[in-house]
Amino acid sequence: MMASVCFGTKCKKCSHRVGKRKEMGMERRRKKTHQAILKAFQELLARKRYESITVQEIIDAADVGRSTFYTHFETKDMLLRAMCEDMFAHVLEDVSDEGTHDFSRDADNPAVIVSHMLFHLQDQQKNIRGLLTCESRDIFLSYFRAKLCETLTARGHVLLRRHVLPDDFLIAHITGSFVQMVEWWMQGGCRQTPEEMTEMFSAVITPIFHTEYAVRNFQKQ
């Protein structure tokens, strides 16, 4: 019995494999270019105000063409949103998956979750301080609140199971307080440690979960 012979690109199986390899290669290049643009933008933000950074400076620093930049990001604000998403994906990641700070031993403790986020925000303080003083500050803060709300909603049982007030009310309150605290902390140069900030935040938030008056009155309604 004669063995089957492969005729390279004329073979359907080989053509499929070649096509898949090309797709994978293109995807790797796309991701590499995407990250190069984000990195160039972050480095520029560390030296300049957001509003003074031009697209030309970004593409020069990233060593990509103008058309390539606009293939990835339609506007500079879209690049800012992508950078925020990339930043918060790590800041708000699951505490139990943490590799750089040892929070995994008590991942359901609200104070541990807060400390986890503050440590990573401190790591990103140069970028965040630059964004808090630029014309797109509101975009950054709005995105921060939205991502934090998502995280609390997904993991909210840890913080909210002790209370009978509406979850969305408490999430809005906790999120607003946390974002304002981070803004104050960043603008002050992060003089306090993440642990100290966690204690301060707990001092403000914890009484909510121990207010019998609020619970009794809400239950009567």
- Sign, CA torsion 42/47/50/53: negative
Q: Delimit the domains of the chain by residue range.
A: 12-73, 82-220
Residue given tokens 């009794």 in the structure block: 216
CATH architecture of 82-220: Orthogonal Bundle (1.10)
pLDDT in tens, 159-181: 565 566 777 888 888 889 999 99
Highest mean pLDDT among 45-59, 73-87, 188-202: 188-202
- Return the pLDDT at 193: 93
Q: Which CATH superfamily includes the segment(s) 12-73? A: Tetracycline Repressor, domain 2 (1.10.357.10)
pLDDT in tens, 64-95: 999 999 999 999 889 988 888 887 776 766 55
- Equal CATH topology for 12-73 and 82-220: yes
- Do the beta carbons of residue 73 and residue 67 sit within 8 Å? no
Query: Whole-model pTM?
Result: 0.67
Tell me the average pLDDT across 93-111.
52
pLDDT range class, residue 184, cuts 50, 70, 90: very high
- Return the pLDDT at 153: 76
